[in-house]
Structure 1
Amino acid sequence: MRMEIRFASKRALVTGAGKGIGREIVKKLAQCGAECVAVSRTQADLDSLKDEVPGIHTVQVDLGDWIATREAMEKVGNIDLLVNNAGIAHLSSFLETTREDLDKVFDVNIKSLFNVSQIVAKGMVERGNGGAIVNVSSIASKIGLRDHAAYCSSKGAVDSLTQVMALELGPHKIRVNAVNPTVVMTDMGRMAWSDPSKSGPLLARIPLGKFVDVDDVVNTVLFLLSDQAASLNGIALPIEGGLLAN
């Protein structure tokens, strides 16, 4: 029996939708029948995405700006499905990471997720129809990666917040889960891992011998948003080719 995922009559909001994983999530959600709200800080990326998927709504905002984000999210209307995908990485050793570096990473990777989710979830609770939220975390929440002190710690916070959200929102029929991919060769992934001397040792620890394709993440996110995952709540799902088994 073929499992088909459909989101007809659902409204979905995706952050970090201009590029990479977020962009492909928007395209796939739209293919599955959802009305999509794409959020990015770069208007040109939103414009080109709308050229590809004319039916979407776009919101340009810097998610690192708490107040501007709240103002923008208050105007998007009812949301049934939320994907918190926006994220940034700053590469420096633990000893060299500055307060400014840490603030920038945490403002986007965890504070904006908290901010957007709070507004969207309040709407879900008020309407009483339930909903689903997926937070895009990282395998970096589960293992230490050299020069990723700010990034690893921000993604650890994402996993912890996911559990608290699942605990508190579950009684309102709102499921909250995270996905934790290893390296995905988006622009940000290439920035950090294109050097074979760095990526080689990590690849050698992955039994499948490869990093993750964008579609692997997109398909997992859509599954967790769907009714096919109706009993999954509060999990952080590794997408990593067996890295954690090694």
Structure 2
Amino acid sequence: MTGLNLAGKNILVTGAGRGLGRAIAVALAEHGSKVFALSRTPSILESLVKEQPSIERIVADVSCWEETRCKLEDLRTMAGIYTTDPATMVTKEKIYKVLDTNFLGVINCSQVVASKMIQDEKPGSIVNVSSITRLLYLA
């Protein structure tokens, strides 16, 4: 994050409990950002806050549209799930769960955050990063 000054910025990190999301949340907090870490697993968020006490946790499943909107509505203005099943074995239900979380969940969170930015007349950016490690190929 050299050269990018994010100190004092409010940043929402979804999928912040593990992997790339967790690493991003910690790095942003270490660089002075106010990080709101969202994950569906309370115990994982608790361990994140123990590691970086300045992080505020938000327990929500981004694939649950209304629950996520309710949790994000009260936040101040601010700027994944994947399957390891072989493509020939992955179920329709699992594909929909991945899409609900990684695609529709991103749209849902972005809509809430963008609406607040517009309402508060605060400029900013919404950056989406995906950490899905496997693509589904249909042969």
Q: Does the aligned pair in 1 maintain the 2:49–2:55 contact within 8 Å?
A: yes
Match of 1:133 among 117, 121, 126: 126
Q: Does the aligned pair in 1 maintain the 2:81–2:132 contact within 8 Å?
A: no
Normalized per residue, which structure has more helix?
Answer: 1
Could you tell me the TM-score, scaled by structure 1's length? 0.51
Q: Does the aligned pair in 1 maintain the 2:81–2:102 contact within 8 Å?
A: yes
Counterpart of 1:78 in structure 2 is 77
Counterpart of 1:206 in structure 2 is none
Q: Does the aligned pair in 1 maintain the 2:82–2:132 contact within 8 Å?
A: no
Change (3 A) 1:63 1:139: closer
Question: Aligned partners of 1:13, 1:138: CA distance in 2, in Å?
Answer: 16
Counterpart of 1:103 in structure 2 is 96
> Please, which runs of 5 or more residues in structure 2 have no aligned partner?
none
> Please, which runs of 5 or more residues in structure 1 have no aligned partner?
82-86, 151-246
Question: Aligned partners of 1:110, 1:56: CA distance in 2, in Å?
Answer: 25
Change (3 A) 1:9 1:103: same
C-alpha displacement at 1:99, in angstroms?
A: 2.4
Instruction: Give the aligned residue type for 1:46.
Output: L
C-alpha displacement at 1:105, in angstroms?
A: 0.8
Question: Aligned partners of 1:44, 1:139: CA distance in 2, in Å?
Answer: 22
Larger relative contact order (CA 8 Å, sep ≥ 6): 2
Counterpart of 2:61 in structure 1 is 62
SS in 2 for 1:133: coil
Instruction: Give the aligned residue type for 2:21.
Output: G
Instruction: Give the aligned residue type for 1:58.
Output: R
The count of residues paired between Structure 1 and Structure 2 equals 137
Deviations 1:136-176 (A, max 9, x none): 13698xxx95xx249xxxxxxxxxxxxxxxxxxxxxxxxxx
Matches within 5 A, 1:162-181: none
Matches within 5 A, 1:85-96: 87-96=80-89
Counterpart of 2:20 in structure 1 is 21
Q: How well do the aligned residues superpose, as a CA RMSD in angstroms?
A: 2.2
Instruction: Give the aligned residue type for 1:21.
Output: L
SS in 2 for 1:108: helix
Could you tell me the TM-score, scaled by structure 2's length? 0.86
Matches within 5 A, 1:1-246: 3-79=2-78, 81=79, 87-137=80-130, 145=135, 148-149=136-137
SS in 2 for 1:135: coil
Question: Aligned partners of 2:39, 2:6: CA distance in 1, in Å?
Answer: 22
Instruction: Give the aligned residue type for 2:39.
Output: S
C-alpha displacement at 1:91, in angstroms?
A: 3.6
Q: Does the aligned pair in 2 maintain the 1:5–1:32 contact within 8 Å?
A: no
